[in-house]
Structure 1
């Protein structure tokens, strides 16, 4: 709420004036960061129109999502599991969405690495009701019955792969950058036997790795580290590894980190296993 809308509100109650000033400064900072990325792209592509530069920017956004898709989906599962107290109707997540807000990385020299083109500004689990719900319906993300259109592919996947009995729920995901948004989703499945073993062993570790997942995810993004391999199935867990992106000809490809790199970064064993004690004991 900025500008004239703020003037219609009592600025004394609830520190509204202070909040609006903070939001205004944050908005100005984000706009400046966005413009800095466009300026960098303009240097890389001299003579390119503003419209085309925005298309290049959006292409980097989509590449980033594609490269980090497995990590994003694991982050969504971790967030839902650590917010069960807010979800009294779980596994029914009607109207809920895991949201990621991105910001542009400004430390670029030469060609931009799409895996590090953005950083995770914020993550949240929020309810799409009221104006948010109407906007989501208008954008085609949400149906009239409040079901998310992005969920259909996983229902089909579960049917084809005989996994309906392992499907707990489907988590809608929204990834946002500036004025761009892309919807995704992830199925939450009953952990495999191997995953349950890994989760049980983690009970011996004093660190709450489930709650550490989002800070780890943010750090992975800053390092350009991504879970893979990219062709992993949604029920893969112990098979997943942390890797990085390298240029292979004209394309960016995934390679796993060496054992030494994994140790230096402090990643846990079986980083693709994301679950809770409740799931283990269920």
Structure 2
């Protein structure tokens, strides 16, 4: 096989893996090791760590490329599309690496972190840490062709891993501002850990911790509702009762809309939380 043919085969694989190919994958595709060296010398590809090569001009940033390269190197012979069919039995980008992937906070780490079941059969990589744990389907998402823990699970993992509280707070604030987490659901998962990890367990103090210096007006609607549910549950209850009373007093027109609130308690609570959250945000401007 000529090196031109090798470059063609390399490009076919790279096109399905954001420009990245391991040496073992290249071999499976029919690329000779000597041809990889020639492609590097010609400037057509460049080598990352862990015997992973990147097509020159590939769109991934250096930060994203290093995370992808580490994930590929954990199972160097398997193509990404083969692994993505069973992400819950494979390595998943997690902890500080997941936070960096999402652009949350600025968690410092020289290691690339993954979470995988104990029987995942992964390669041991320099500068990579694999945490042994089973992840539920709702804890994992695939983004840009790589499995990664959700922002919610990433925050829980950072807390459990004793990450710097200030940095965890910045990660949470970024996720809140970008509408990547459900605030009451995150509180429900972190409240049982409060005593051990020095977190506030009650809703109001937890909401204040997450908000930090972020103005309420910067929050998207879901985050504003979540903040109101934790910070002012009594106000939300009062507004919900008022909506229920109004729905029983009116018929037709707006009364038909209010009747929906009476039939659907969960919807009514969301509406009440949004009213309270918006009123507080307007009051703080």
- TM-score after normalising by structure 1: 0.24
**Greater fraction of residues in strand:** 1
* Structure possessing the higher radius of gyration over alpha carbons: 2
**Greater fraction of residues in helix:** 2
Structure of greater relative contact order (alpha carbons < 8 Å, 6+ residues apart): 1
